[in-house]
Amino acid sequence: MPPVPLAPYPTSSAPYTPPANAAQSQLVCSGCRNLLLYPVGATSVCCAVCNAVTAVPPPGTEMAQLVCGGCHTLLMYIRGATSVQCSCCHTVNLALEANQVAHVSCGNCRMLLMYQYGARSVKCAVCNFVTSVGMSTSASAIDQKA
């Protein structure tokens, strides 16, 4: 099946709404990193902005997203991957499942930070401040029951 070209946004004043029976999905363009919408069943998508052809993952493949720690670009990857390399800045990002991560506010700039359970500290990518992470009471209670 040839790539499905995507048209630019309609020029009419009314917003475009796809027909109710046309199922669509989305992925990030491999060239310019724009979000692409495509009809379900397509095997690849041609970006209307940069003309890059992006392969569509096989049906049933669960996708996840993360923000690159190097350049803050939104990355999409196949759920279950342990790391994701950014195509923009080539940073290798650790891909963690939701049950493997925790959140804490930076001790300096208050940015919400994500870190892997068990870490003793986390460095803020915005201000480079290192915030110590203490054991949560719920984790201690679980350890005591075991």
Q: Mind listing the pLDDT tens digit for each residue in 27-43?
A: 888 888 888 888 888 88
Taking Cα atoms as reference points, which of 33, 27, 115 lies closest to residue 78? 27
Tokens representing residue 86 in the block? 């950014």
- Kindly indicate the confidence band of residue 3, based on its pLDDT and cuts at 50, 70 and 90: low
Domain boundaries in the chain?
24-55, 63-94, 101-132
pLDDT band of residue 4 (cuts 50, 70, 90) is low
Q: Is 89 left (phi over 0), alpha (psi -120 to 50) or beta?
A: alpha
- Quote the CA–CA distance of 110 and 137 in Å, as a whole number: 22
Give the pLDDT band (50/70/90) at residue 16: very low
Q: What is the mean pLDDT of residues 36-62?
A: 87
Q: What percent of the chain has pLDDT over 90?
A: 16
